[in-house]
Amino acid sequence: MTHVDFTQIELEALATHYVGSKLREQEVKLSSELTLVDADTINYLLRYLILPIKTEEFYHFHHSVNIDMNEVFKVVAEIFENNDLLLQNSQSLAKLLYDCSTHPKVNDGKLNIAHFSNIEIDNELVNAIGIFKSETDAPFIKMEEANDGFNITHDFGFDLKGIDKACLVFNTKKGEGYKVLLIDPLKGNSEARYWKDEFLQVEPVSDEYHQTNQVMGITKRFVTEQIVDDMPITRTEQIDLLNRAAGYFKENDVFEKEKFEEEVLQEEPIINSFRDYKQDFQQAHDVKLDDEFEISTQAVKKQARVFKSVLKLDKNFHVYIHGNKNMIEQGKEPDGRKFYKLYFEEEK
């Protein structure tokens, strides 16, 4: 797992521009000078820009033909080669983003391009280029002394809780498209794809986090959505499958395809159905998943939240099933009422 330490991070330079919606014929306003940041404000700015960035899943720039045809990659590489070109190249990035801002739900906002130093990544000190878009401002109250009393007014600004969209590019692994971290709260939504897919053109690095996250996600969707279409299966059997899958990833350090199929899926019809589902997913999403990889504990913790072992019975009962499916039986009364019978050895 890649380790990133922002403890000693320093802001070297910053350029700010306004990028409107091209569809709504708003402008792109380019600054002709670097942005000045008050010394007392720098720590707040770093908190706003950097603190929300999660360091589990890494991306890298890509292009279907040649990485050098990725415009953002080219501009970022030029900044790394000559830091004095930050302002000029930040203007290029603002224009590129503007050209991608054609979806009706894309918001206008301030675009900040920052050059950082002293970031430690896997015991290596590197520089980084940050691309940040602030779209959502919020009102705040100001209480100021005036003569013998106070005046209360309001203003608008950006909440320190988090940036709207961010991309942090580390000056390492250039030949592989750099190492990149993202923030995009709307990722997956069509209006947000312009940021990751059209503007940045990045894709996940196929490391242990990505592999674990993908296989667990595929397993969960297969058990909860696909398997019921392929074969008769009860809700308790689905939950039992989810429990076995979650247990496999929690108890093993390495994912092995055959061992996973034997211990979790167990039955040949289910194994064959899962193989087909996984293959279709990989082709549809252009994802390559290995038959063996190290299991990421961070990805397991993230996915564990959606591996729910809850049997919901109307609005009256929620039954949490964590173990042996043979300890629960389903039945039906002569009058049509359904029931579950639970067996246990001791009450706690």
Q: How confident is the model at residue 229 (pLDDT cuts 50, 70, 90)?
A: confident
**Cβ atoms 292, 255 nearer than 8 A:** yes
Counts for the chain of helices (H) and strands (E), in that order: 10, 17
Residue 46, phi then psi, degrees to nearest 5 = -65, -40
Q: Say if strands 109-121 and 124-134 run parallel, antiparallel, or are unpaired.
A: antiparallel
Partner residues linked to 342 by β-bridges: 328
Q: Higher-confidence residue: 346 or 231?
A: 231
- The residues near 288 (Cβ < 8 Å, ≥ 6 apart) are 206, 282
Q: How confident is the model at residue 105 (pLDDT cuts 50, 70, 90)?
A: confident
Domain boundaries, the chain: 4-204, 208-342
Q: Tokens representing 216? A: 């667990």
Instruction: Using the predicted structure, report yes or no on whether residue 311 has a pLDDT greater than 80.
Output: no
**Cβ atoms 26, 108 nearer than 8 A:** yes
Entry pTM: 0.79
What pLDDT, in 10s, does the model give residues 20-68?
999 898 999 999 999 999 999 999 999 999 998 988 889 999 998 999 9
